[in-house]
Structures are given as C-alpha cells and as structure tokens.
Amino acid sequence: MKIFELNESSVRSYCRSFPVVFKQARGAELISRDGRHYIDFLAGAGTLNYGHNHPVLKQALLDYIEQDGLTHGLDMYSEAKEAFLETFNRLILEPRGMGEYLMQFTGPTGANAVEAALKLARKVTGRQSILSFTNGFHGCTLGALAATGNQHHRGGAGVPLGEVARMPYANYFGDKVNTIAMIDKLLDDPSSGIDKPAAVIVEVVQGEGGLNVASAEWMRKLDKLCRKHEMLLIVDDIQAGCGRTGSFFSFEEMGIRPDMITLSKSLSGYGLPFAMVLLRKELDQWKPGEHNGTFRGNNHAFVTATAAIEHFWRDDSFAQSVRTKGKRIAERMQKIVRRHGPDSLFVKGRGMMIGISCPDGELATSICRKAFEQGLVIETSGAHGEVVKCLCPLTIEDAQIEKALDILDHAFAAALSEHQANQAS
Amino acid sequence: MKIFELNESSVRSYCRSFPVVFKQARGAELISRDGRHYIDFLAGAGTLNYGHNHPVLKQALLDYIEQDGLTHGLDMYSEAKEAFLETFNRLILEPRGMGEYLMQFTGPTGANAVEAALKLARKVTGRQSILSFTNGFHGCTLGALAATGNQHHRGGAGVPLGEVARMPYANYFGDKVNTIAMIDKLLDDPSSGIDKPAAVIVEVVQGEGGLNVASAEWMRKLDKLCRKHEMLLIVDDIQAGCGRTGSFFSFEEMGIRPDMITLSKSLSGYGLPFAMVLLRKELDQWKPGEHNGTFRGNNHAFVTATAAIEHFWRDDSFAQSVRTKGKRIAERMQKIVRRHGPDSLFVKGRGMMIGISCPDGELATSICRKAFEQGLVIETSGAHGEVVKCLCPLTIEDAQIEKALDILDHAFAAALSEHQANQAS
Amino acid sequence: MKIFELNESSVRSYCRSFPVVFKQARGAELISRDGRHYIDFLAGAGTLNYGHNHPVLKQALLDYIEQDGLTHGLDMYSEAKEAFLETFNRLILEPRGMGEYLMQFTGPTGANAVEAALKLARKVTGRQSILSFTNGFHGCTLGALAATGNQHHRGGAGVPLGEVARMPYANYFGDKVNTIAMIDKLLDDPSSGIDKPAAVIVEVVQGEGGLNVASAEWMRKLDKLCRKHEMLLIVDDIQAGCGRTGSFFSFEEMGIRPDMITLSKSLSGYGLPFAMVLLRKELDQWKPGEHNGTFRGNNHAFVTATAAIEHFWRDDSFAQSVRTKGKRIAERMQKIVRRHGPDSLFVKGRGMMIGISCPDGELATSICRKAFEQGLVIETSGAHGEVVKCLCPLTIEDAQIEKALDILDHAFAAALSEHQANQAS
Amino acid sequence: MKIFELNESSVRSYCRSFPVVFKQARGAELISRDGRHYIDFLAGAGTLNYGHNHPVLKQALLDYIEQDGLTHGLDMYSEAKEAFLETFNRLILEPRGMGEYLMQFTGPTGANAVEAALKLARKVTGRQSILSFTNGFHGCTLGALAATGNQHHRGGAGVPLGEVARMPYANYFGDKVNTIAMIDKLLDDPSSGIDKPAAVIVEVVQGEGGLNVASAEWMRKLDKLCRKHEMLLIVDDIQAGCGRTGSFFSFEEMGIRPDMITLSKSLSGYGLPFAMVLLRKELDQWKPGEHNGTFRGNNHAFVTATAAIEHFWRDDSFAQSVRTKGKRIAERMQKIVRRHGPDSLFVKGRGMMIGISCPDGELATSICRKAFEQGLVIETSGAHGEVVKCLCPLTIEDAQIEKALDILDHAFAAALSEHQANQAS
C-alpha cells in the first residue's frame, strides 16, 4: 500500500477503515488482492443496490463497448440516451403516475444534481434562500455544501456558506415536537428573519445523517407547507432512492408530489458515475446549456441503467424482495439489540437502509473495525458516527445476510466487552 | 428524436447544433443511427484527445470488466487505482521533475476538481478571495462558477457569486497593456479594494473563452506575482492538458511551478468521467474525507487512463506528432483566412487547440452549421461565440484533417457569401 | 405640508401617522405649529426617556454652545468626552460592578453600534456567523440588517443577508417549548448545519418585535449557553436600556455578564444622535480607527448625556419612579383589556415598555389613529403591527398618564365598535 | 488623559496624533484645555467647511434650543425640516437646474447615506452588484464597507464583503491608460465575469484615498458609460461636497447628472450629525420606512444647515472666495515643493481639498507631527498615508493660511533633514 501513501492525498478516507487492496467484486462480495472475500454492507454508500458487477448489466455494457457504442458525446443525442429516456419513462415514471416529469442529466455526481436543482428553484421562483434540514447531506460543492449539515464538510469550504436556512428535521427535537408547525410559524411571521425560500430540500431517510426517517405524515405536511408558502419541494433521493427503501422512490405511497427529485448513486446500477434531476414540466425554464458539464449524460451509465430498470423494475417482485429482506435484517438487528443493550442500542431506518444506533461513535467505530476483521465491510453514519449502518446490496442472498449478521453480533459482543473493560479500568 | 423532446429538459444543448442520433464512434469519427459518418472536430469539448473508443484502451477496459474488476469502491484501495498512481507518477510526473505532487481524486467532473482546489487554497492560506480571469471557464457548480466569467452560466446561479475578484487575462486590453503589472499594482496597494487572495486560477489557453493564449513570459510573470503576494497558483488544465497543446501539461517548458493543477476531460482517455487535482505535498492539509463524493476515483477510468498513459506517453513521439499536426492545421487555417478574409478573420490558439476568429458569433455559427451539413462536427467558442474552434482528436489522421479543412473552407465560403448577400439586401 | 410632499422621499414614515407639523416640545408634550398639544407615547421610539428638551440638559447644552465648546472633533480628546467617560464610569458602571467595561463611541446611530459589536465579535473569535433571534431588530445597515428579523426592512437590502443564523426567542414557540435547549442541541450537534457562531445578539425586551420579554431565567440560560459554546453575548440595549425597564440596563439583577452592550437612543438624554458599545476589556482588540466614522463621539451628546446621568442616576429614586409608573400604566391597561376584550387583548412588556396586544394590526392601527385624533401620539409594533405600544417619557407626570390612558380607553372602545360594525356588515 | 486611556476603547485614533484635550473652538482655531491655540487643517475631516461654531449658525441653534424647538421627532414633520427642504431646494437645487431631486434623510452618518443609496440602486434595477473604485472610501458599515477600498477598514469586517466589483479610478494606471474604456470593455464582454451592476459609486475627488482627482472629461465619460449600461450613477459627495472644491457640489459644471448624490459631513454646517441622499424623482421607489433609523432628520442639524445655506449660498461670493483661497494655498504648496523636493514631492487635489504627496507615509507622518508641535492640526491621507492633506475651513482667514503654510514649510524642512540624516546613518 506504499504507492497510495506516497502518491495520494491524505483526503482519502474509506481506505483507512478497510486497509486492503481490492481487486474484484461480485454481487455482495468484495475480493481483496490476497484472495480474501468480504461481505459488502457498505455497497458504495448506497451506490450498489444491484450488487457489484451484476451479470445482466455487465453483459449489456460489454456488448455496447464491443460494438463501439458512443462513449462520450456531451449532451448530444445518442441511442443509449434514447433507450434510457424511453425505459425510465415507461417502467418508472408512467406506472407511478409521474409522466409529467422531465429528465435533466447533470454532471455525473449527486452534488451536481443538487446544484442544478437548487439553481432551477432559485431561477423559477426568483428567491434566493433554500430551506434544508439538520443532519441533511447533499454534497460537497459549494452550492450543495451550503445545504449540507455536516461541520466536517462545511468547515472545508473556506468561505461562508450562504442562502440556506436550517430547519429541524422530523423528530429532531423529539417526537413530541411538531417541527412542521415550527417551520410554518417562522414562514408565516414576517418578522421571523427567515426569508421566503425558493425551495425546501429534504431526504426522506437521511443516510449520512444517521438513518433518520421522516414519516409519511410528516412528508405530507411538508408537501402542504410548500404549497402554502409557494416553495418548491426537492426530494434528494440520491441515497434512499432506486429501491433502497422498498420502492423505487423513497416517497412512493406517501401521497406527495415533489417539484424536483435528485437521483444518482444506484441510478446507473453498476456503480458508474451518473446523476439526474427529475423536474415537473412547468418548471423547465432552463436555457440551453445554462447548467452544463463535460460528463453530463454518461453513455455507459445509460446502458447499464436501462438494463437495470428492465431487469429489476418490470414488476413489483424485486421491490417485494427488498421489503422482505429489510424485515429479515431488522429482525436480526432487534435480536442484537435485545442481547447486547436493550437500553442503550436501538434500530433505526427503513427498508434496507437500516442500522443500530450506539451510545457513541467510538463504540460504533470499534464494532465496524471488529466486523471488518471477520470479513464484513461496514461503516458508521450519524452526526457523531454513532450508527452502525447496513447498506448491503438489495440483491444480497439470505445466507449472506445471516453470515453478515452473525459477524455483526460477534462484533457487538467483542466491542461492548472491551468497552466495559475500558470503563472498569 | 421525439423521445428526447418529450422527456428531456430543455437544458440540453449540443444536440441542437447536431440534430442526429449518434450510435457509434471510432477514432475521429462519429456515426449516426442512419449510418452517416462525421469527422469530429469537437471531440467532447476536449475530452477525446485519443479519439473515440481507442482499441488499446477499449481492450483494457473490456478485460477489466470481464474479470469483474472492482467497478465502484468509493475511495478504497483498488488495484486499478494503484496502477494509475504508479503509472502517472512514473511516466508523467517524474520525467517532468514533478515528483513532489500528490494526486487527489475528486468527484469525476472538472468542476469538482476546481471546487476542491479552491477549497484547499482557502484552507491552506486562511484567505477567502480567489483571483480569476476574464473569459475564464472553470465549471458550473457554485464554487467553480464564481470563478467562471461567462454570464450565460453565471446568470443561472440565482444567487450572487462571491469571494472571487476578476482580473484581465493576458492581452485582454491589447498586447500593449501589461496586465500582470496592473494586478501587481492592485495587490500592492492596501487601499485598492482587492483583498489578498488565497490563489489565482488560470487556464494557459482559454478553451471556452475563445482560444486566448497566455505566453510563457506572461505565465512566468504570473508565477512570480504569486510568490510575491503569497498566493497559490492553480493551473486549470482541464481542457488544455493531456497533450492538447503539444505536451502533456500546457505549461511545460514555461519554467513555472503551479501549486495545484486540475485535470479532467481527456484524463481517462476514453471519455469516462474522471477528475484529479495535483497538489504540491506541503499543501496537503486535507482531513480524511473533508472533500468527498460518491464517484471519486472511478475505477473504469483508472484502467483506461493507465492504458492511455502507457500507450501514448512512454516517449515524446506522440507529443511530437501533436505539434506536427497542430502546425498542419494552423497552416490550412491560415490559407482559409487569406482566402476568405485576411482583414476580418484570424487564427487563434496553440497546438491542436486552434480556431479561426470571425467578426461575429452569427457568422461563426453559420459556418459551423454549414460544416455539419457536410459531415463535420464543429463548434464555436468565445465571449460572443465568434471563434470557430477545432478540437479534433490528437490521433486524427492526416487525410481526415485534410478532408475536414476542405469542408471548413467551403463552409467559410458559403457562409460569407450568404453574409454578404444579407448585408447587401 | 406641500413642501414635504414635493421635496422629501416617499421613504418618510411616521409623518404619515401623525400628519401635522410639529414646532415645539416639552417633557411629555409635542406642540404642533397650530398650537395643539399632544401627549407623546412614542417618545422618539424610546429616544426621549427624559422627555423633550429637559430643562437641566437644555441648560447644560446652551452653556456649552455659548462658550464655544468643541462641537465636532472626530475622536480627538475633548473635555466633554472626558466628563462623560468619568461620569458614566462613576455613576453607571462602577456601582453595578461593571468597571471592567470600556466604551467605544461609534457612529451616532444604533445600527452603527451594532455593526461595530458584530465586527469585534467576529474579529475576536475568528468565526463569521452570528446568532440572532426571531422578531429581533438591530438596525438597517447591511451588517445590522442581517441580524434584524423584519421582512419589510430585510427586503430593502437588495442582496442576500448572510452570516446570521436565526434562532427562536424566549417563548417564541409558546411557553412550554424551551428554546435555549433547542439552540443548545443545534450547537452541540456537529451535523446540525449551524456553524459555531462568533456571538449571540439579543434584546432583553424586543421593542420593535412587539414587546416580547425574556425572563431572567431565560437570559441566564442564554448567558450560560454562550460560555459553553464560547460565543460572545451581545445585549442590544438600544431601546430597552437607559432606564426604560426600571433599571439603567435592562438586564440588571439577572445575574448575567454580557460581553458587549450596545446603547444609543436615550443615551444622550436629549434626542441627539449618539451611540456606544460597552465591551469587556479583554475583547478590546481594535486597531486604531479600524471602525470609524465622522460623527463618532458627538460632543453635544456628551454634554447632555453627562448632565442626564448626573441628574437622574445619582441614586435609585428615578429608577424607582419608573417602576412605580410602569405599574400604574400596566394597571390602567389591564382595565382596558378587561373592559374591551379579556379574551382577545392582553398586556405585554416590562417596566415602561408596555403595550396591549390586539388580534390584528388593522385594529391596532385604527386604535392609534383614533388616539391621535384625541391628542395622543402612539404607535404600533410587532410582526403584524398588532401591539399598541406605550413608550412615553419616563419623566411623564401622573396626570398625563391618566389623561393618555383615558384617550386610549376611548380609542379602544371606538375602534372595536367600528370593527364589530364592519364585521357585521 | 488617563481617563481616556482607562475607559475608552483602543479604537480611538485621531487623539493619538493630537494628544491634547480640546476645550473650545472658533473658526479655524482649536483651543486646548491648557489654552493653546491650534490652526485646524483637518476640519473634522471635511466636516467643518464653515469653521468651528460659526456665530451665525450658533445663534440660530441657540435660539431654536431656547424656544424648545423640536429636537427629536424621528421622521415626523417639523418646522425645522420644512425650512431646510424649502431652503435647500430654493438656494441649492433650483439654481443649479436640479429641481428634479428629492431629499431622503437617512441615519445621520455618511455611511448610512451610502447604505441607503446602494439599497435603492439595487431595488430599482433588480441587480445586485455595485462598481466602486480603487482607493474609494464610503464608510465602515458592511454595505458601505464593501464599496470602500481601504484594507485597514475592510479587514475589520470579519466576513467577506460581497456584491461589489472594483474598478480602476481615473489615472489609476497612469494618465495614458483610459480606465473608462477598460470598464466599458469589461461590461460589454458577456464573458468577462463582471456582472451587470446596479450602480457605480464614485467620489469626484477621493479624500481618504489621497486627493485623487477625476477630471470633468473622465466624469462625463463615466456618466455616459452609466447610461450605456443602464447603471445608476451615485456621486458620493460627502467629503468633496458642500463647497469644498469651489462649488456646492464637486461635479458642478461638469455636465453630468448623477442619479443619486450622498451628502453628509459639512451639510449641517456646524459639525452636527446629518446625512442626506439626493435622488432623482423617478427612482423614489422606497416603501415608507423601508430604510429607517432613529436619528434620521436631526432637527438641530436642519436648523444650522438652513442657516448655513442662507448665509453662504445666497450668491456666488462664498464659492468665489473658496476658489481664490484654494489657489493661494496651492501656490504656497508649490513653493514648498520647489524648495524641498521638486523631484519627489507634488501637489494634489482640487479647490480647498489639496495636499502634498510625499515619497512615503513615514515622512508624511513625521511632517504632520512636527506641524502639530508648532500649532497646526493636519493629517495624512492616501493608500500609504503619503499625502499631507489640507482640509482647512473654507472660512479661514488669509493670515491664518499664511501662518499655517509657514509652519508646514518648516515642518517639511525639519522632517526632510531628519529623514536624510536617518538615511545617511
């Protein structure tokens, strides 16, 4: 690993938790250079919902490359893009009554999609402020970073991050405090100091923020609040979307109608850089090229994304399997909680975006370290890194789930006993 | 093309100039669905220096995918990344006496690399302002956009773009005005209103800005100015780098030593999303993960980039061929100028980043339209879109150059005669 | 009044509520050109705590002018300034155990004092953000305006107002919600998105915001919160200070120790432009002239302020009389409430900074209009202008109070019956 | 002076150059507590154009106070304001063909007037950026400070100062560089990075900036540029106005028509805090109270200002005397230059706003120190404090001029010989 240490900036991060060199990956497994197999409960931080190198997507990609399909074409028309547009519209949007949305292909990162959505919201409304939430994560470029809560990232900006007002997320002040009513009061009050916002940006489940979950009721109230105050509603579904919560979008069946939706991470299905903003037609006030970028509309990603949608979203069976596996994982986690700390641990999250909250970040880190030693790649999230977060591929096999949870169970046991020993001494 | 019109946002742009659906591409050729071949003088706006789907790179990528090489791994250690680090260091940095640079893999867009570089400059110096230049282009996310000059893009921000002071580029006020002396006076004057900047960000040839060229002397003075005022020097080599000007970096042999260099576009060699900041070791004050992003370190791009460097940069022969072809194109362009408008047209640019400046953008647009009808994909650049810009693959064959320039010659003739007819009527 | 309409900008405001030309004023009385006498329950929005043209202050000013005392001297040493420094220190600071505070004479407006305090807080802490409160008012220059809540004023900025995070004031969400605990949670949470602030700026009673009162307990908690998070505590005592609440400072006896205090309005005692920042010695990191202004240290104001302090603050009798009068006014107001709307009206405020809250701003405006017709100058405050606010001179005579409250009583009766008639029709 | 040192913030500044306690002042003389008389060549940094405590103004003020004229009335109608409006219109505006301007009384500081003008420009145009000039000084509150060039003051902000683009003042790059043409090019170029500004703010003579003078031709070109690019032209006449340059406004007879003019400093005539924005009627889009402040419309200042206008501006004789004295001072200064440093010293400025530029700030400071020892209060200005600046009252007597220039002559001699001695050693 000397080459990395000698040549790569110290900004590198995940490699510090998993200090091995990976060579190959298949499904829910990562394989290191020395041949060790790891179960992947990180899944590219939500990028690998269909697992590593899924054979169907792989074949589609190989075929496309073999035939010299257009790889890079800026935002010119390509057959690959056409197929994606048609397929996404037919299998995702139309069946969900969302035929009114247009697709914008931004630079192929989630942050870029967020930047585009915030720009468009400001352009359309003529207002400058954005409401974003405590513990929200939306990316690290300056526009997206202003909406992100995390001080570790915000502190890297080097300039003040403006034009964003921070609001408390669902249950931020406990489940007895109605945070929507609070926001409503602030927006109704012409002397509150909260300027009329262009938009609200929200994650339905906060991934980086620690698997905080907004209820359908809270989301409906937020949607209503947006209509009342003429703010646009932007759902950032970059981590929670593409099936992670048991439906393609995280907000399905909640009865809400976002003005924009940002997608990235698992959208290509294969881990390829790709991002998109879905926007309601009447908001499409973009001038040609007004928001641009060299890699907007990655053709390789169009190919794998189209294959993924055709393969996984023709009917509800995949989504159903996600819900079933989610329950299985949750149940195993509840057992861990009951066994190791019914008073101090608890399960958080929704669908296959779940984890166990620990009393502090040190303990959670120690658990992940021990799990890794036993062959499980898993990470923490949350404001203090206190949540052990399970983001395994949605395609994971039951046996792999069992094995991974066994490892996790042992890791909790080992870390907690070490923890108690430390406290005793 | 109805699917695009029905489903894609109106932000789409290049497709309006080239309204055909592309299917395949090889070398300097784009092939439309209906089988028409086009010579590509746009080359992904500088992303396809080695042409479309170069067979050597293609094979490396196919092999990697076949073997289930790690596709997505956040910033974990991978064999593909290791090979890239080693190869880039050995064949690019070391031979140029640049062994002191570290590599940071940012989100895979040029804008993201620029955002990272500006952040780091602010962090290291504790200052907030950045100097950027008239007609500079650095990307469309808010941090990068603040440094970008183009009003079409700036206007999309919807919020004021701050913490950047604009300075005149080389020869901006004509070749008799010493713009470096101007900047020096402003920075020396404690009452000028120009706050001490963290960094200067500069393109050695301004691609989007209209092929404006900074001389070696100007760059040396700028480098010196940076030392004098303790500002960092960031060379944005996203469009001009990777061989475009006849050497790997656009500033080679100029005797300067940038503090940071941003690379993207042709870095992967295959048109895959990829971006990197090169930074001098002593500036590496990043905390782990402080600037992050899901697709930082795209493994497919590592594979093709490594293959590209091995194939093209083992010795000077490729660079030499670029210089030769650049001269050939320039000579053909000079002929066009002499034939069609010795008083109103002139050749601009450096290496294979050259074009012909027209009196106005309308004429230039008309020329490009006519060229496209004859099978040449070519675009304008410059503040008023007045420069017909040739960014063909560096691997283009001489016969293709000749054919493309023939088309261009006819396009100039046709557009100019139409122009004159219009003016007469 | 034609001259005003022809020559003065439409920004003029109070003259619209009181459309007469005033010629003279004495004590609690304003006298119009046509000889009508008005009781003044506005008192220069809190600027005339000692009434109009108090004879003792007047004589001191006349003497000073007669003798050609220095009128304008920038911030040079003058005898008048010396006397003020000595007197303010001896009679105000020392007896209150506040000998550790230094005085800074800013430009002679409250907003300028606030600008200075915010600058110093940012300089001392190296942080950029300020916490300010819902319904807070701190002035209309851009730095102060960012901390001000009122949309009517904020909207005039024409640029986004940054580097301020808005927090809920005491009881903003009702008396069951502990707003200090909320702020503490946000500041403790490294992922809340609320950057560590340089300072908190707070009014102990919010004058423009509608006579909202912070309890001693809330202020103590806020003070503690500031220590915990190493933020400076700035009390803006511009309207509530100088005796208005029954003690010189509004926070006396609360057991808190602000880092800075801004004073203006009644500080000169005579209605002359004057402003000051009190700052704890260890914070005095100003470089000479770093914050300056032509009229900082108004010598006429030094003269009248010194006379006022000598006359009113030698012992507690004046403060005692304010408390007594405050109770008298409050009792009369309670009667009005009981008589005219025990369910819809209520008394708000503290000391002689009290008023009656109405269901809406229209009603309150109508009441004030009717009171003016009967010889009482009185205005509304609050987010919706819904509070009829009594800010009479602290020196007002009991008979004047009785007369004014009689007028107010009738005004409530008349306005409410009109209101009901309107609703019936 | 112990009381000052013990109780006043270290921000105090002029007192450091003139460490005596002043007691009285008359005309061009300051009198210290110990009875020493000083000739005042600082004049409140341009605030005392009519000298200290002018007897005519003094009597008007005494009479007003004696009669209990309204001292403080927010922006209510007062007889004093009415008289000022009528007089200023009749004797200043109408005779100069400026009857179309309205008067706005802002908070009584120059900075506050600038803040109001910038706000209104942004409101009227809907644009956010302001162009201001190198070495410009417009005040220290955040909005005005953004337009100010001086780093000493800018550095005190503690936050980035935005929404202002800095442009080179007349002759900033020498008299061969046409700075207006430069600005025009930047504004014409849609890719220059200079956003369309709401307004330009400019001083016709830069007082704090070092007595830099814009020619009538340059101002006319600037005026034209504003029309071309639809920017408002704001002349900040706070220091150069009220007769200082030999006419009431500094731009008279230049053939320009500013959209707004800010006045303060000598406007009250007596050194009382006072400020005003003159704005063309069609720009008066203010909502009532949108920009407000407790001390806007200082009645004492209305009284003295009215008296001053009646006394000094009934006919051209006063302005004529200023021009004559200006020449006298300039001639004496030219002698000093010829005698002490024809190669290194030179005279700068216009009217009675003139000074001698020295090679460096240390020398200029030393000259001022020596002059003070001999009874002359005089200060430096300029980016490096290199200009010895004469801002004596316009009412100064010829004998006082002679005496002051004699002192200055000696001070130059003494400081220069000391300087040479230092350099020799």
Looking at chain D, the whole-number percentage of residues with pLDDT higher than 70 is 100
Cα A368 from Cα A386, distance rounded (Å): 11
Q: Please give the share of chain A, as a percent, with pLDDT higher than 70.
A: 100
Q: Indicate if the pLDDT at residue B419 is higher than 90.
A: no
Nearest-CA distance B175 → chain A (Å): 32
Q: Report pLDDT for A419.
A: 85
Kind and range of the H or E element at A83? helix A79-87
| Whether A153 and B290 lie within 8 Å, measured CB to CB | yes
Measured CA to CA, the distance from residue B390 to residue A227 in angstroms comes to: 49
Q: Residues B227-261: pLDDT tens digits?
A: 999 999 999 999 999 999 999 999 999 999 999 99
Query: Could you tell me if residue B257 is left (phi over 0), alpha (psi between -120 and 50 degrees) or otherwise beta?
Result: beta
What proportions of chain B, in percent to the nearest 5, are helix, strand and coil?
40, 20, 40
- Chain D positions in Cβ-Cβ contact with residue B194 (cut-off 8 Å): 166
- The phi and psi torsions of A381 (rounded to 5 degrees) equal -145, -175
Res. B199 pLDDT band, cuts 50 70 90: very high
pLDDT of residue C1 exceeding 90, the answer is no
pLDDT score of D81 more than 90: yes
Q: Which domains does chain D have, with CATH numbers?
A: 2-54+316-424 (3.90.1150.10), 57-312 (3.40.640.10)
Q: How many other CB atoms are there within 10 angstroms of residue A111's CB atom?
A: 33
CA dist C274 and D108 (Å) reads 10
At residue D425 the predicted structure's pLDDT band, cuts being 50, 70 and 90, is confident
Q: Which residue of B has its CA nearest to C126?
A: B126
Share the mean pLDDT of chain D.
Answer: 97
The CA-based dihedral angle spanning residues C368, C369, C372, C373, taken in that order and rounded to the nearest 10 degrees = -140
CA–CA distance, B80 with A118 (Å, rounded to integer)? 35
Chain A within 8 Å of B90 (Cβ-Cβ)? no
Q: Is B190 on the interface with D (CB under 8 A)?
A: yes
The distance of A380 to chain C (nearest Cα, Å) reads 14
Is the pLDDT at C71 greater than 80? The verdict is yes
Token look-up 């870095």 returns: B267
In this prediction, residues C248-254 reach a mean pLDDT of 97
Pick from D131, D150, D179, D192 the residue to mutate for testing the B interface (most B CBs within 10 Å): D192
Q: Do C163 and A163 touch (CB under 8 A)?
A: no
Q: How far does the CA of residue A157 sit from the closest CA of chain D (Å)?
A: 13
Task: Show which subunits contact D, needing at least 3 CB pairs below 8 angstroms.
Answer: A, B, C
Interval B54-89: pLDDT, tens: 999 999 999 999 999 999 999 999 999 999 999 999
Within 13 A of D202's CA, how many CA atoms are on the CB side? 29
- Do the Cβ atoms of A127 and B128 come closer than 8 Å? no
| pLDDT single digits (tens) C253-289 | 999 999 999 999 999 999 999 999 999 999 999 999 9
The predicted pLDDT at position B383 comes to 96
Residue B68's pLDDT is what?
98
What pLDDT, on the 0 to 100 scale, is given for residue A422? 86
- What is the reported pLDDT for D424? 81
Q: What percent of chain C has pLDDT over 90?
A: 98
- Tell whether the model's pLDDT for residue A420 goes beyond 90: no
Give Rg (Cα) of chain D: 21
Asked whether C149 and C209 are in contact (CB, 8 A), the reply is yes
Separation of alpha carbons B340 and B234, rounded Å: 39
Considering only alpha carbons, which residue of chain D is nearest residue B186? D134
DSSP B395-419: T--HHHHHHHHHHHHHHHHHHHHHH
Map tokens 């100088």 to a residue. Answer: C242
| Residues of chain C contacting A196 with CB distance shorter than 8 Å | 151
Quick one: pLDDT band at residue D419, thresholds 50, 70, 90? confident
Asked if C24 and D68 touch (Cβ cutoff 8 Å), the reply is yes
Task: Provide the number of CB pairs (under 8 Å) joining chain B to chain C.
Answer: 3
Burial class (CB in 10 A: 0-12, 13-18, 19+), C315: exposed
Across the A/D interface, how many CB contacts are shorter than 8 Å? Answer: 3
At residue A280, the 3 state secondary structure works out as: strand
**How sure is the predictor about D47, in pLDDT bands with cuts at 50, 70 and 90?**
very high
Query: Are residues A140 and B23, on separate chains, in Cβ contact within 8 Å?
Result: no
For strand D387-390 and strand D379-381, is the pairing parallel, antiparallel, or unpaired?
A: antiparallel
Contact A166, C165 (CB under 8 A): yes
- What global pTM score does this model have? 0.97
What's the mean pLDDT in A82-106? 98
What is the ipTM for the molecules in this complex? 0.97
Q: What is the mean pLDDT of chain A?
A: 97
Would you say A179 and A133 are in contact if contact means Cβ atoms under 8 Å apart?
no
Mean pLDDT of C307-326: 98
Q: Per-residue pLDDT for C425 more than 80? A: no
Answer for the pair C392, C28: CB distance below 8 angstroms, yes or no. Answer: yes
Instruction: Provide the CA B27 distance to its chain's centre, in angstroms.
Output: 19
d(CA D109, CA A235): 47
Token pair 């200060």 in the structure block, residue: D379
pLDDT tens for A1-32 read 899 999 999 999 999 999 999 999 999 999 99
**Beta bridge pairs of residue D117:** none
SS3 readout for D205-259 = EECCCCCEECCHHHHHHHHHHHHHHCCEEEEECCCCCCCCCCCCCCCCCCCCCCC
| Nearest to B288, CA basis, from A8, A139, A151, A10 | A10
Give the three-class secondary structure for A3: helix
pLDDT for position D344: 94
Residues 6+ apart with CB under 8 A from A120: A260, A277, A279, A283, A285, A286, A291
Cβ separation B9–A102 shorter than 8 A = yes
Task: Pick A128's closest partner by Cβ from C136, C160, C165.
Answer: C160
The answer to whether B35 and B20 are in contact (CB under 8 A) is no
Asked if the model's pLDDT at residue C161 lies above 90, the reply is yes
A160 touches chain D (CB under 8 A): yes
Strands C197-202 and C129-133: parallel
**CA C361/CA D94 separation, integer angstroms:** 42
Q: What are the two backbone dihedrals, phi and then psi, of residue A49, each rounded to the nearest 5 degrees?
A: -60, -30
Q: In this predicted model, which residue has the larger pLDDT, D425 or B263?
A: B263
What are the φ/ψ torsions at residue D357 (nearest 5 degrees)?
A: -85, 130
* Confidence tier at D422 by pLDDT (50, 70, 90): confident
At residue B163, the pLDDT reads 96
Banded pLDDT at C290 (limits 50, 70, 90): very high
**How far is the first Cα of chain C from the last one, in angstroms, to the nearest whole number?**
36
Query: Which pLDDT tens digit goes with each residue over C379-409?
Result: 999 999 999 999 999 999 999 999 999 999 9
Higher pLDDT, B97 or A424: B97
pLDDT tens-digit readout, A276-332:
999 999 999 999 999 999 999 999 999 999 999 999 999 999 999 999 999 999 999
C53-57 LR contacts (CB < 8 Å, sep 24+) = C53/C25, C53/C26, C53/C27, C53/C270, C53/D65, C53/D68, C53/D71, C54/C27, C54/C269, C54/C270, C54/C308, C54/C311, C54/C395, C56/C307, C56/C308, C56/C311, C57/C269, C57/C270, C57/C304, C57/C307, C57/C308, C57/C311
Check residue D1 and give its pLDDT.
Answer: 80
pLDDT at A425 > cutoff 80: no
Check: CB of residue D364 under 8 Å from CB of residue D383: no
SS3 A207: coil
3-state SS class at D330: helix
Mean pLDDT of D267-275: 98
Residue B1's pLDDT is what?
80
